[in-house]
Amino acid sequence: MEFIAKELLDYCENHTTEEDPLLKYIQRETYSKVLMPRMLSGHLQGKTLEMLVKLLNPKTILEIGTYTGYSGICMARGLGDQGKLITLDINDELETMVRGFFEKSGLMHKIEYQIGNALDIIPTLPDNFDLVFIDADKANYINYYNLIVDRVNQGGVILADNVLWSGKVLAEEGKKIDKDTQIILDFNQMIQEDPRVENILLPIRDGLMLARKL
What mean pLDDT do residues 30-49 have? 90
Would you say residue 1 has pLDDT above 80? no
The three-class DSSP label of residue 210 is strand
Task: Return mean pLDDT, the chain.
Answer: 93
pTM of the model as a whole? 0.94
Contacts of residue 159, defined as CB under 8 A and 6 or more positions apart, other chains included, come to 49, 52, 131, 132, 133, 134, 208, 209, 210, 211
> Which of 40-44, 54-58, 105-109, 115-119 comes out lowest in average pLDDT?
40-44
- Inform me whether the pLDDT recorded for 45 exceeds 80: yes
Beta strands in 37-176 (DSSP E): 60-64, 84-89, 111-115, 129-134, 152-161
Of the candidate ranges 21-30, 153-162, 168-177, 184-193, the one whose mean pLDDT is the lowest: 168-177
Q: What are the angstrom distances between the C-alpha of 214 and each of 93, 129, 153?
A: 38, 14, 9
pLDDT reading at 153 higher than 80: yes
At residue 57, does pLDDT exceed 60?
yes
Tell me the C-alpha distance between 201 and 192, whole Å.
Answer: 10
All structural domains of the chain: 6-213 (3.40.50.150)
% of residues, the chain, pLDDT over 90: 82
Q: Rounded mean pLDDT of 125-134?
A: 96
Over residues 88-96, the mean pLDDT reads 96
